[in-house]
Structure 1
Amino acid sequence: MAYEARYVFKPNPGADLAAVMKAMEQGAALWRKHGAQSPRLWAITAGELGNYVLSVQFENALAFAQVVDPLSADPEFRAWQARNAEAGHIAWVRSNHARELDLGG
């Protein structure tokens, strides 16, 4: 079973897009620090134009928990979150967690 976490955000009007990309690179590095193998950044090009998605895939929910629990407790991650809030470059739209279901085929 695959498990995916998706964090949807939108740059605020007038935001420095280079600063946004740098912040997402730093965020992905923090995920990797705690064992995530595949953080990816997506630009939405249809539907919710202007949104971006940081996605992270795992084998299952247990593998997710083994990464996200220490990540959430990491002072460096908390400082990264605080810097993003203070900079005001992005607004989080939503977070989605998806679990792949077997269709038996």
Structure 2
Amino acid sequence: MAYEARYVFRPNPGADLGVVMEAIQRGAALWKRHGATSARLWVVAAGELGNYVLELRFDNATEYAKVTDPLSADPEFRKWQAANVQAGAFTWVRSNLMRELPLA
């Protein structure tokens, strides 16, 4: 079973896209350091144009759960979150937590 966390965000008007991408890369690296098996960045190509999605994968819900508490307690992660708020370069639209189910 795959388990995914997807964080949808939108760069704010006038924001430097380089600053946004650097922030997302740093955040993805923190998630991976704490145990995400992969981190991918997607740009929405139809529907909610202008949004981006940071996708984090885990082998299962247990592996996801092992990451969230240590990540949230990591001083570097907290500094990263505070710096994003202060910079005002992007806005989180929503977060989704998904679990893959077999079709057959």
TM-score by length of 2: 0.97
The CA RMSD measured in Å over matched residues stands at 0.7
Aligned to 2:5, the other structure's residue is in SS state: strand
8 Å CA contact 2:44, 2:50 repeated in 1 = yes
Note the C-alpha offset of 1:2: 1.0
Amino acid at match of 1:9: F
The 1-side partners of 2:40 and 2:13 are apart by: 23
Describe how 1:63-74 pairs up with structure 2 within 5 A: 63-74=63-74
Note the C-alpha offset of 1:68: 1.6
Describe how 1:6-45 pairs up with structure 2 within 5 A: 6-45=6-45
Aligned to 2:38, the other structure's residue is in SS state: coil
The 2-side partners of 1:3 and 1:41 are apart by: 16
The 1-side partners of 2:60 and 2:35 are apart by: 14
Q: What is the identity percentage for the equivalent residue pairs of Structure 1 and Structure 2? A: 67
8 Å CA contact 2:5, 2:98 repeated in 1 = yes
Note the C-alpha offset of 1:28: 0.9
Note the C-alpha offset of 1:69: 1.6
Amino acid at match of 2:21: M
Describe how 1:1-105 pairs up with structure 2 within 5 A: 1-104=1-104
The 2-side partners of 1:14 and 1:70 are apart by: 34
TM-score by length of 1: 0.96
- What are structure 2's unaligned runs of at least 5 residues? none
Aligned to 1:45, the other structure's residue is in SS state: coil
Matched pairs, number: 104
